[in-house]
Amino acid sequence: MDLVVNGVEHSLDLDPRTTLLDALREHLGLTGAKKGCDHGQCGACTVLLNGRRVNSCLILAVTLDGTEVTTIEGVDHPVQEKFLEHDGFQCGYCTPGQICSAVGMLDEVAKGWPSAVSTGEDHLSDADIKERMSGNLCRCGAYPNMVPAIREAAGR
Amino acid sequence: MKTFTYRTATDVSQGLEPGATFLAGGTNLVDLMKLGVATPDVLVDVTRLGLDEVGDRPGGGLRIGAGVRNSDLAADPRVRRDYPVLSQALLAGASGQLRNMATTAGNLLQRTRCRYFMDATMPCNKHDPGSGCPAREGDHRNLAILGASPSCVATHPSDMAVALAALDAVVRISGPAGERTVPVTELHRLPGDTPDRDTVLEHGELITAVDVPPLGFAARSAYRKVRDRASYAFAVGSIAAAAQVDDGTVTDVRLAFGAVAHKPWRAFVAEEALRGQPATRESFLTAADAELAAAEPLRDNAFKIALIRNLVASVLEGLS
């Protein structure tokens, strides 16, 4: 199968059981996306598929023939600088997932998508950032620094 | 994970060979395969069948393609305007990443999150018929209070399905034997003595779309979910409601409860009790009591009765 990752096309011969996360980490050497829970509950494996954030641990790579995958290694976004500025991490294990998720989330906000706490048309509040980022856990508890980092990356 | 062969579906009515199962977003199925609870021999990928549009129906209402992702459906301007209960229910479920993957039909067909079902090493009549139900005497705080059986007390975990049940949505199904339709309220079964069957679908039948009929007063509708965390958790109890109130009287109403039964629980008894009644907290509580009279709580989940009762009153007060 062919997988386009960060703009580079790769031809892979995979066991159909291989998840996108394992294909990235074990077959392509892209270890930025992390294996946390491996069950779609922690968000450490978040990558972008055609620009949309997803959990790569729950996607079978074989289903993605021809899809554009962006991992943290291919992300170049202001949210990265803001995470450094605000110290939005401690151990860093969840950070690639947090960044990819934030990039996808800010795109959803730009498209006017609603959330459980907002209509998507109003100001991106801290409560809204927390709700929209709730699929990414941080066991160090660096959330209070991530929220302003993401808010500033959104230009608000 | 047990090995399987993979192919893409080319037609909605081609059906499935024995041991095969359809794969869409994969958010539940791939997880269950990792856990050894789902062990298909063949995965048939239906995401390339083009079932991913939300369309207007000629007589009003919407036809939601089975493959429409939960996030796209929640953001659809027609859904937000005409059926806010549906958009709210979708946004109350899962996370941004999972909603980008999960599909309409996959959401309907997701399996219970009962811990014994999710653990292949435990007895469970749903994953191993005849092995017993440890939940009845074990961890059942979040399990059923309505419609359960001695063999199974599981709850259906979907939020979206609760809204669709309230909205009289109809599931469109294709298979080798042809096409048929089933109301969402009749798609999921009560467990009885065959809890291994979640729904009335036959092997090889594929959901192709969900039709939501026009319902003018659904423009005033709401979904309220109670859970153990502020976000990203399954419901402990939830309610989908739409109400038409004229001059202080409830002229029409739709109500459904989530996380209380093996299926999204359409509260027909409460609806009937409410029509023609004054739109007061007292009427709402009386109607909730009429529905919940059938509840048979377990040792640790009787609190759900009061929870649902209070949700009915609070959400209907908000809509009145």
Nearest to B97 among A39, A101, A131 (CB): A101
| Contact criterion met (CB < 8 Å) for B91 and A134 | no
Overall average pLDDT of the A118-132 stretch: 92
pLDDT of residue A89: 96
Q: Give me the pLDDT at residue B131, please.
A: 98
Mean pLDDT for A50-76 is 96
- B164 touches A at CB < 8 Å: no
d(CA B102, CA A52): 13
pTM of the model: 0.98
Minimal CA–CA distance to B26: which of A84, A131, A61?
A: A61
Task: For chain A, say whether B138 makes contact (Cβ under 8 Å).
Answer: no
For chain B, the three-class secondary structure string (H helix, E strand, C coil) is CCCCEEEECCCCCCCCCCCEEEECCCCCHHHHHHCCCCCCCEEEECCCCCCCCEEECCCCCEEEECCCEHHHHHHCHHHHHHCHHHHHHHHHCCCHHHHHHCEHHHHHHCCCCCCCCCCCCCCCCCCCCCCCCHHHCCCCCCCCCCCCECCECCCCCCCHHHHHHHCCCEEEEEECCEEEEEEHHHHECCCCCCCCCCECCCCCCEEEEEEECCCHHHHCEEEEEECCCCCCCCCCEEEEEEEEEECCEEEEEEEEEECCCCCCEECHHHHHHHCCCECCHHHHHHHHHHHHCCCCCCCCCCHHHHHHHHHHHHHHHHHC
DSSP letter (8 states) at residue A64: G
Please give the residue of chain B at the shortest CA–CA distance from A45: B97
State which residues of chain B have pLDDT below 50.
none
Q: Which of residues 92-131 of B touch A (CB under 8 A)?
A: 92, 94-98, 100-101
Task: Supply the pLDDT for residue B184.
Answer: 98
Q: How far does the CA of residue A84 sit from the closest CA of chain B (Å)?
A: 24
User: What pLDDT score was predicted for residue B169?
Assistant: 98
Inter-chain residue contact A15 with B3, CB threshold 8 Å:
yes
Q: What is the pLDDT of residue A156?
A: 63
How many angstroms separate the Cα of B66 from the Cα of each of B48, B54, B59, B95, B103?
11, 9, 20, 20, 7
Answer yes or no: do A43 and B97 touch at CB < 8 A: yes
Task: Kindly indicate the confidence band of residue A121, based on its pLDDT and cuts at 50, 70 and 90.
Answer: confident
Domains of chain A (ranges, CATH numbers): 2-73 (3.10.20.30), 78-153 (1.10.150.120)
B243/B256 Cα distance (integer angstroms) = 12
Mean pLDDT of chain A: 96
ipTM rounded to 2 decimals: 0.98
What chain B holds in terms of domains, given with CATH numbers, is 220-319 (3.30.390.50)
Say if the Cβ atoms of A134 and B231 lie within 8 Å: yes
Query: For residue A66, what pLDDT is reported?
Result: 82
Of A15, A40, A135, the CB nearest to B31: A40
Q: Select from B48, B95, B118, B229 the residue whose CB has the most chain A CBs within 10 Å, as the one to mutate to test that interface.
A: B95
Contact B6 A130 (CB under 8 A): no
Q: Please write down the HEC assignment for all residues of B77-106.
A: HHHHHHCHHHHHHHHHCCCHHHHHHCEHHH
Q: Give the per-residue pLDDT at B140.
A: 98
Rounded Cα gap, residues B54 and B76, in angstroms: 8
Cross-chain Cβ contact A17/B75 below 8 Å: no
**Interface contact flag, B232 A38, Cβ < 8 Å:** no
Distance from CA of A70 to the nearest CA of B (A): 14
- Does A70 have pLDDT greater than 90? yes
